[in-house]
Structure 1
Amino acid sequence: MDASLNQTLAQEKPACAHSNHEDNLQLIQIPADRNPLLEKLLPSDSDGGSDSVSNFSTLETNTNASISQVDDCDQLGSNLWSGADCYGSDSKLGKQVDNFFQAVGWQALASIATDYRDGIQCSYADPDTYSIGQFNMVRRLDFVDGVRWVARVRLPPEATHFPLGRYNSQRAFETEVASMKFFKSKSDIPVPEVFVYDPDSSNSIGAPYMLIEYIHGTTAEDLRSIRNSEPSIFGTSEQDQKFRQQMASIQARVLTFQFPKIGSLYHDESTDSFYIGPDMNTGMGPWGTPAEYYKDLTDSLLKQSAARRCRDPEKEKFFCAPALLNHLMSLYGQGCNGQYSLVNRDFGAHNILVDGDFNIVGVIDLDSVFAGPLEAVAQYPGFCGLDPEPPGIVETNPYALKRIEIMTPQLEEYKNLLMRYEAMFRNGMASISSMLGSRGAMIHLGFESCGEVFGFQNEVWFSSAVAMLKEHAITQCN
């Protein structure tokens, strides 16, 4: 979630011990059955077949050269960390963040890092430099042997600029640590390694913390802004194409992992196994069917909507948007086959680290990893200019119309990319990525949007849901 964090993040504590989880991991093994569209998207044998992109490391990169280029401009990684300046030193929030920085037991945390590495000494890269995201503060730790880590501590509620909403700190911590361990051990997705962590706010440091691997990179979103790239373009057209290919490859990798239940990912340290537990957002679950999941999700969103103050009686009706979406999902949902793919619900340019040439070097903020129904998994990455319009919403604003004109071919291009990589990793099948932009996927996007802390999304998706219901009714009449 920490979209502004220019560094490798991760969080979490081991989940409660359970010795025999029925939610054991299963890799998708589906017989090859390509359709004509996939034949066009997949590389031919003369192109090297699936081996040409069989794992993330084979994608074209020129990391060393580009890092040198960017380092000269001080545009990469911890070079950009500047403390609480973004809040203003005299602002109330800026002062609260600074007070928290002063209160944390940083030296005690450095000692924990030294003890973990058998006495190798370390120190913070700069006595006054740190980075803050929505919920965490990070500092770089440098060891005398050249190894670099990140010390990451959880901000208290009074020092965060983002309302917590559905966010549960404990569950998020557990899911993020589990997700880093999972992808580090079972894939080549470049996530940071987690070394030491403690979710207890009453520990000797004074806050939940973790010590993780430092990855020298900047979020693609931030580097795109620094480089003054064209809207929705990451660097040059060549860099943008390469970045999107690598992003699609990672997204396709994630969805190849399946579990038999719906919910967030957790790790059982006693058995060193991974399982699906309660959803980080709702606190409910795990669920055995999509219908059960969407029912509880709807109830949770309705409670949140009811809790928001609405001074305009005319807008009170928008409160029920989740209920309309739930009915629509019962009409357009794909059901289930008893297995649910993993998805990182916060995957996007704000949480992808790149080098100076926009090669992906890390994926961070993994507290939203979730095993979900097809509609939940078939979503575009965030902060990439890939934001499909809610069905039935007609734009008239010239600026919005221009944005939609530019975005429409980009949506199709990314969908084709994801289909290509999913088919490579799943023996020719691309049943999930082919659903991007589908009615069911858009309805799920509506659920996610209604979960935002700012209630105006309910108004947008209420109007969209009404339009979809009318369309369905007319279709049924015909």
Structure 2
Amino acid sequence: MESGTSSLEAFSGYRWTYFFELPEGALRSRAESFLRSVNWPGLLEFATKDGISGTLLSDIGLGQNHMVRIIEFPDGTRWLARLELPPLPGSEHSEDVLVAKRSCEITTISFLRQMTSIRIPQIYEFDLRSDCNVGAPFTIMECLPGNAGMDIAMTIPPVYKHKILRDLAKIHVQLSKTLLPKIGTITSINEDGTCQQGPIPGLGGPFDTATQFFQAWATKAKFGVTDEQLRQASGAYADEIAQSVSVFAKSISDLASKLSLRDGGPFPVWNSDWGWNNNVYDEDGNLLGSVDWEKTFAAPWELFADYPLGLTTIPPAMDAPWNYDENGYPKDAELAQRFADQQEYITAVRQEEILIGGTECRLSQGLSDTRRQQLASAMRLYLDGKPGFYSKVVDQFMSR
């Protein structure tokens, strides 16, 4: 366990309100339809402990891609069942690709549990096929007596912020020391503890160099919303922003060989959806574990050296100019605090790197390299469909 201890007796309950508070509409219909379609008695057939079956509690957790339920045994032990919702309309992945993706997460969790001391819940049972008897792909795993950050608050609570930043830094540094020879997913583990690597969904690979990765990204990455949606969100700046978005991928392609200071391996294991949102905490803000590793692969150092979700910002060059004064300082107190939190995080990372005796502080160095760090942030925001002046981030990178 990374920080602190917790017990079920001291746990006040799951803060899973999203499902029950969903308004009428497509999202609620999708969730309710899925809830009705699952063979819950069939799921419980997989949940036996010492020959004794568990029962489902009434709690229902819901995310974008998963529904979670709690299975409780007579002795008070609890397991968590995570079931994957059907793909959203427009998904281009075949069942074989989806099964391979789910398998990579299972393998990644096993690998990280062996190679690090990061607290990751143990998996007890799973079936990765959409046509399994349960009616949906599922995993049954250890249940932590706490809540994920996304269920506690949209932002890190100030009262626990210093503790949480330190604990996030510890995990981030451990991942920086978990290195693989190529850029790609983890598909299997060899007997000697090394692993086989495979393609990244939507990008391909594995890649021998960061240059190859960035070239593939520039070819295959898609902006997260349509041109019409982008223009509607951009107001008076629609033409300028749309033009900036349209040339960003080509700019990455043109700069591919210059983006990374460490073009060859080894490369750190990176979860592109990692941060405050999918770490689990107890009532006192102590970190109990990290969950949701489905978007994990060995990545270029520049992508890895991004802030955990919950600490990220829009690069100033890309952001609306009126958010900053004539000296480049943020006008909004909350935004200014976020930048201060980032500096505190860099300090926490550097302290952890020194504590474990590393001769290189690659992660803190990468976080401090503003030009590369902000360009990597822009790549993440591009996939999310965030409006912004992407060309200005490129110009900033090329200016020195």
Alignment match of 1:93 (pick from 23, 27, 40): 27
- The amino acid across from 1:346 in the alignment is D
User: Which gives a bigger RCO, structure 1 or 2 (Cα 8 Å, sep 6+)?
Assistant: 1
Structure 1 residues 400 and 109: alpha-carbon distance in aligned structure 2, compared to 1, 3 A threshold: farther
TM-score by length of 2: 0.85
Write the letter of the residue equivalent to 2:199. P
Output the CA distance in 2 between the equivalents of 1:344 and 1:139: 24
Partners of 1:262 and 1:371 within 8 A in 2: yes
Q: Quick check: 1:262–1:340 contact (8 Å CA) kept in 2?
A: yes
Residue number among 132, 138, 147 corresponding to 2:68 in the alignment: 138
Counterpart in the other structure of 2:310: 383
Does structure 1 retain, via aligned residues, the 8 Å contact 2:68–2:83?
A: yes
Q: Note the alpha carbon deviations across 1:419-451, whole angstroms, 9 max, x for none.
A: 121233353321222110422222222222211
* CA displacement, residues 321-355 of structure 1 (integer Å, 9 cap, x when unaligned): 12213334533420334311112221111101100
| Match for residue 276 of structure 2 among 344, 349, 359 | 349
Query: Out of 104, 110, 132, which is 1:181 matched to?
Result: 110
**What is residue 245 of structure 2 aligned with on the other side?**
318
| CA distance in structure 2 between the aligned counterparts of 1:68 and 1:224, rounded to whole angstroms | 23
Counterpart code for 1:265: I
State the AA in 2 paired with 1:104: V
1:148–1:213 CA contact under 8 A, matched in 2: yes
Q: Which of residues 373, 391, 403 is equivalent to 2:334?
A: 403
8 A contact 1:234–1:243 mirrored in 2: no
CA 1:180–1:383 in structure 2 vs 1: closer, same or farther (change >3 Å)? same
CA shift at 1:183, angstroms?
2.0
Change in Cα spacing, 1:175 to 1:391, as seen in structure 2 (3 Å) is farther
Query: Is residue 203–residue 217 contact of structure 2 (8 Å, CA) maintained in 1?
Result: no
1:285 aligns with 2:220: no
Conserved? CA contact 1:261–1:338, under 8 Å:
yes
Which of residues 176, 183, 189 in structure 2 aligns to 1:262? 183
Q: Does 1:440 align with 2:364?
A: no
* CA shift in 2, pair 1:342/1:393, >3 Å: same
Q: Which runs of 4+ in 1 moved over 6 A?
A: 165-168, 269-272
Query: Where does residue 234 of structure 1 map in the other structure?
Result: 157
Residue 113 (structure 1) aligned with residue 31 (structure 2): no
Deviations 1:66-118 (A, max 9, x none): x766x4xx4x43xx335732322x4233123212211111101101222xx45
Q: Which amino acid aligns with 1:260?
A: P
Q: Distance in 2 between matches of 1:268 and 1:152?
A: 23
The amino acid across from 1:191 in the alignment is I
Query: Deviation string for 1:216-260 (max 9, x for gaps)?
Result: 1112343246xxxxxx55242xx3211111111111111111111
Alignment partners' CA distance in 1, 2:17 and 2:380? 32
Report the Cα offset of residue 206 of structure 1: 1.1
What TM-score, normalized to structure 1? Answer: 0.72
| Alpha-carbon distance in 2 for matches of 1:273, 1:374 | 20
Q: Is the Cα contact below 8 Å between 1:328 and 1:465 reproduced in 2?
A: no
Distance 1:368 1:180 in 2: 11
Cα deviation 1:366-406 (Å, max 9, x = unaligned): 1122211211111110123x426244656323785433422
The amino acid across from 1:407 in the alignment is R
Distance 1:154 1:222 in 2: 18
Question: CA 1:393/1:206 → structure 2, altered by over 3 Å: closer, same or farther?
Answer: closer
- Distance verdict in 2 for CA 1:233–1:363, change over 3 Å: closer
1:268 Cα deviation after fit: 4.8
Q: Quick one: which amino acid aligns to residue 369 of structure 1? A: T
Does residue 3 of structure 2 align to residue 63 of structure 1?
no
Summarize the alignment of residues 354-365 of structure 1 with structure 2, pairs less than 5 Å apart. 354-365=281-292
2:164 aligned partner: 243
- Provide closer, same or farther for how the CA distance between residues 379 and 102 of structure 1 changes in structure 2, counting only shifts above 3 A: same
Superposed, which structure 2 residues align to 1:148-159 within 5 Å? 148-157=78-87
Q: Secondary structure at the match of 2:71?
A: strand
Deviations 1:159-206 (A, max 9, x none): x9xx86999743441222122212222222111111111111111111
Indicate which of 124, 133, 139 corresponds to 2:56. 124
- Paired residues of 1:194 and 1:210 also in contact (CA < 8 A): yes
Structure 1 alignment gaps of length 5 or more: 1-55, 226-231, 473-478
Amino acid in structure 1 at the alignment position of 2:274? F
Q: Distance in 2 between matches of 1:347 and 1:91?
A: 29
Which consecutive residues of structure 2, in runs of 5 or more, have no partner in the other structure?
A: 232-237, 325-329
Q: CA deviation at 1:413?
A: 1.3
**1-structure distance, mates of 2:138, 2:225:** 31
Which residue of the partner structure matches residue 24 of structure 1?
none
Q: Distance in 1 between matches of 2:27 and 2:332?
A: 37
